[in-house]
Amino acid sequence: MAFGMFAKKIINWYAENGRSLPWRETDNPYYIWLSEVIMQQTRIEQGMDYYERFVREYPTVAALAAASEQQVLKSWQGLGYYSRARNLHAAARHIAYELGGCFPDTYEGIRALKGVGRYTAAAIASFAFRLPYPVIDGNVYRFVSRLYGIYTPVGTDRSYREFEGVLGNLIDRERPDLFNQAMMDFGSLCCKPSGSGCTGCIFAEECVAYGKGVVEQLPVKLSPQRTTERHFYYFDVRWKEPCDTMLVHLREERDIWQGLYELPLHETAEAVPSQLLPTWAMGLLEERFGKEPSHISIGRCITHRLTHQTINARFILANFDCRPPKIPKSLQMTSPQAINNLPVSRLIDRYLSEM
């Protein structure tokens, strides 16, 4: 099929079958940028609420820049991958305070923003400024690899350059926004991982993988990274005199959940045997806080899975009669009510909600 015919065919399909999404109804680069960052590794159903929240709470780049990092992280809470929120905030401040509030209108300028990679830069460039840069997400990789029988493992620089070259010849240079949206939607709605939509596919005759019966073999993916297992013991330390008080810790080290608050944490290389937990917890609390609590309650183990880590968390409620004699400098005092205003991980939020 001639290159121009392919673009016309996929755009015509999109006109009848494309998804209606709020960020497709605008060419405002700020809103498009928000949607692209929020939707990374996120289902549309989940991300939609966050997109609408950010548009409502931070309607302009200037509004996002003026917010504190803690405000932004709180708005992001529950979405995961918090480095995206920190980069979004830093880039907004760069645009507002160093670029005079003007969003970059070239691919190179967009790509220079903190946290913006090739995919996001191409998306903003094509959707907001109609620049002919192909947008390559997982759905596009799958569709194109099957259509042309490409066996190069996806997710590498080599594959990106190869697919970029193929799509650079296919893209409609007058309507790159519609072309890219059509490619992503077709990959998501028709060219499914299972290959279940092949029979009625409008590209079945041209598809190399379908013709050779190798649809489920493509795209080729690299072996997944090994998952690290970690054991977290959170201590919910509380006392009532002179007022309801609990302790929190701000994660500042370069690790998961950087910039978020959590309960006092002790991480171990191996899980502490259940029969030893009460004695172990009492001893650790006495060492850290200068006395034993009047009562402890050990909760069930909660498994929290991240992309390459599995967190096995235990929450131990420790009640003191009054303020303990020692409080480590890394901990801050707050109230059970005030903690709801702090940005926390989904794991901590889950525990607090259950409490």
Position 41 confidence tier, pLDDT thresholds 50, 70, 90: confident
CATH number at residue 339: 3.90.79.10
Query: pTM surpassing 0.75?
Result: yes
Residue 45 annotated to the active site: no
- Residue 325 CB neighbours (<10 A): 9
Q: What is the pLDDT of residue 32?
A: 98
Query: Is 223 part of any domain?
Result: no
Average pLDDT across the chain, whole number: 95
Q: In the Cβ-directed half-sphere of 61, how many Cα atoms lie within 13 Å?
A: 21
> pLDDT for 270-296, tens place per residue?
999 999 999 999 999 999 999 999 999
Domain boundary among 154, 186, 217: 217
Note down the domain range covering 252.
228-354
Query: Is 281 part of any domain?
Result: yes
What backbone torsions phi and psi does residue 236 show, to the nearest 5 degrees?
-85, 90
Contact 176, 122 (CB under 8 A): no
Position 122 confidence tier, pLDDT thresholds 50, 70, 90: very high
Domain boundary among 217, 236, 258: 217
Q: What is the pLDDT of residue 195?
A: 82
* Same-domain status, 163 and 254: no
* Same-domain status, 285 and 234: yes
DSSP string for residues in 129-189:
H--------HHHHHHHHHHHT--SPBSSHHHHHHHHHHHHHHS-SS-HHHHHHHHHHHHHH
* Same-domain status, 198 and 306: no
> pLDDT for 321-349, tens place per residue?
999 999 999 999 999 999 999 999 999 99
Query: Is 299 part of any domain?
Result: yes
* Same-domain status, 200 and 287: no
Task: Tell me how many domains the chain contains.
Answer: 2
Query: Is 145 part of any domain?
Result: yes
Query: Is 102 part of any domain?
Result: yes
| Per annotation, catalytic residue among 36, 162, 253, 292 | 36
